[in-house]
Structure 1
Amino acid sequence: MNIGVDARAFGMANAMVSHTSDVNSGYWNPTGLLQIEDQEAALMHANYFANIAQYDYVAYAKKIDDRSAWGLSVIRFGVDDILNTTQLIDSEGNIDYNRISLFSTADYGVTFSYARKLPVQRFQYGVNAKVIRRIIGDFASSWGFGFDLGMQYYVKDWKFGLMVRDITTTYNVWNINEEEFKKIQEAQTQNPSQNQELPENTEITLPKAQLGVARKVDFHNGMSLLTAVNLNMEFQRTNDILSSEVLSMTPAVGFEFGYDNLAFIRAGVGNFQNSPSLLIDSNRNRVTFQPNIGLGFHYKGISVDYALTDLGNQSAALYSNVFSLKVDLSIFR
């Protein structure tokens, strides 16, 4: 649930919380659902780690009335066809490749979003209710629940946004298949100290906050420039460039150059981190970051977007190609 959705957002380094205004707002800031005119749907696919992992997303949103809207989204991040070699060696010590089986591991996130305008002019809010499902083959599975809260405020050409994720703290409770776990224990003959105890059965996701501001400037001949800045915050010590025991922060900046609301070029940089120096004899940290670029096309209610993330390979993650599609469903009426 931390990766993000929509190729447009990836191209802008995920600096979306203040100006998101379509079906994808269910993820970035549910408040933005109030900006859709009727109903919209979105799809996204991305490959991670040299196509080992698949990341997919589908969403739908609908305007209820002039003051409210709702949305539903589903995310899956999974690795399929993993070799299970725990039974590779039979009871007599022989290698038998027929004993190899396949399994998948996947995380699912289902989010229901609701947004409503407040009596205060230009002030609006949105909430998410999330169900998290995690599966590791036949070995283990878990259920989790959590909530998000978002707000947006518009004044003239400026847009401000706040998104607090997992505001009540999100809990995942695991159910471990002890029969399958015993097979893993028995397979560790070379190093009996590994995998001898059952893992913890509870995971806790602490709250995180995003504060954003954006401004769009329209030029002559149908050209425009949208600039957005995010400040991503976690309430613990991390490798962010500003970090303390209480709060850690890192910025993200995104740009979108548009022509006649038809074609878009995007760029962004974010994920600034303090990383250990590559020099063996150096104790100093170096600052790493993640640059992204993207393209987008919009025509008669259909938007097709592409993003290339981590372009400069500044961080440890491998670059990824992201494709997404967004459709204003009212065009089919």
Structure 2
Amino acid sequence: MIKKVKLLILPLILMHVWVNAQFRKYSNEFLNIGAGARGLSMGSAQVASVADGTAGYWNPAGLVNVKDQPQINLMHAEYFAGIGKYDFGNIAIPLSGGKRTIGLSILRFAVDDIPNTVFLVEPDGSINFANITTFSSADYAFLFSYAQELKTKSPDKKLSLGFNAKVIHRKAGDFATAWGFGFDAALQYKNKRFQAGLVARDVTTTFNAWSYSINDKMREVFYVTQNEIPVKSTELTAPKLIAGASYNFKLNKNMNLLAEANLDFTFDGRRNTVISSSAVSVDPKLGLEAGYKNVFFVRAGINNFQRALEDDDSTYTKKVWIFQPALGAGFRLSNVMIDYAFTNLANQSNPLYTHVFSLKLDLVKNKKKK
């Protein structure tokens, strides 16, 4: 089964990178997966409550919550029985005064050992499996983040501003390469137990410039098989707005319950979302986190609501609402936080579950003994 999936990946990648320059409704999708097991287990509802280094991905304004000492965040996940590998790494460094924080985040999504079957068929029509080679398709993103706390009239109210500068690098073997650039802008507000966040992703429109290295032998195969020979192109990503709010309920002396809701607004045409129109589409995300003494956490979330054909309907006309569920947990030990998420990549009717682990480490400074 895994080999069949890999054989299908090559033509899908080629079709994706060889189209002409245009706005894409689903562009740089690896940047929409998420970062950190906490956020993934809460259904990606994070822009209001995120308060650690993963804010460099979710909401850069939230980086101001990293104070006193630098923080490192690491995450690894594998999809489709290990075919796809997704990694996230981040370091957040608070500056002197505790009002500003900078961060660097790196994301990588890759599929390795993809069969290249361009030269599978010899000129005489015979099949030569010895001509099959393999290559990797990898997407990288480098996020340079800056966050600053703004002045407010009340000490109970906190408002912060954040920015991301994004550098994107995408590579499909030796024959397709892209470089892209973009910016994000964000706000985060806190008032005791209430929090709110607003993120404008790709606010200036993010673009990927594709270039290709196709030798004469490969061009000849494309010509004979009536495949389009790729040329330089530019892929554009339209801006997206994410708004969210959360509230932290105090259940008793030791327990609290955090509830958050996010709304993703896209403006690149009609999508299969809860609210869908040619002007704007809205996709909700919901997350819960129950904490005990700020040491142990249990989380759940849902997102990716879509209308899909019902599996048991033989007429293929009846549609039902489906969604992507997630569960998770976290444990804090001194300056170390370990998080786990169990999430579904598709929906409840076509389960593609994966285990996600992430680590958060506060680099506590050693205190000199007097």
Instruction: Establish whether TM, by shorter chain, passes 0.5.
Output: yes
What is the aligned partner in structure 2 of residue 223 from structure 1? 255
How many residues matched?
A: 329
Structure 1 residues 266, 184: closer, same or farther in 2, change over 3 A? farther
* Contact 1:123-1:153 at 8 Å conserved across structures: yes
Q: Deviations over 1:216-250 (max 9, x none)?
A: 12333411111111111111310011011111012
1:125 maps to 161
Q: What percentage of residue pairs aligned between the two structures are identical?
A: 41
Q: Is 1:292–1:311's contact at 8 Å kept on the other side of the alignment?
A: no
Match of 1:198 in 2: 230
Q: Would the alpha carbon gap of residues 184 and 264 (structure 1) be closer, same or farther in structure 2, given more than 3 Å must change?
A: farther
Paired AA for residue 117 in structure 2: T
Aligned residue in 2 for 1:71: 103
- Matched with 2:362 is 328
2:21 aligned partner: none
Q: Specify which of 166, 171, 185 is matched with residue 135 of structure 1.
A: 171
The AA in structure 2 aligned to 1:198 is P
User: Of the candidates 36, 42, 45, which is equivalent to residue 66 of structure 2?
Assistant: 36
User: Residue 221 of structure 2: which of 168, 186, 190 is its match?
Assistant: 186
> 2: distance between equivalents of 1:179 and 1:120?
61
In the alignment, which residue of structure 2 is the partner of 1:48? Answer: 79
Aligned mates of 1:248, 1:54 — CA distance in 2: 29
Q: Determine which of 264, 267, 283 is the counterpart of 2:297.
A: 264
Give how far 1:200 is off. Answer: 6.3
Instruction: Tell me if the contact between 1:44 and 1:58 (Cα under 8 Å) persists in the aligned partners.
Output: yes
Counterparts of residues 161-180 of structure 1 (less than 5 Å): 161-179=197-215
**TM-score under structure 1 length normalisation:** 0.93
The question of 1:8 aligning with 2:38 is answered yes
Give deviations 1:276-316, integer Å, cap 9, x for gaps: 44434253432110110001111111011110102894265
Q: Which residue of structure 1 lines up, in the alignment, with residue 307 of structure 2?
A: 274
CA shift digits 1:158-212 (9 cap, x unpaired): 00100111001100000011327x51651686xx33x224266111111111111
Aligned partner of 1:208 in structure 2 is: 240
In structure 2, list runs of 5 or more residues that go unmatched.
1-30
RMSD of aligned Cα (Å) = 2.0
Asked if residue 104 in structure 1 is aligned to residue 136 in structure 2, the reply is: yes
* Residue ranges of structure 1 left out of the alignment (5+ in a row): none
Which residue pairs with 1:156 in the alignment? 192
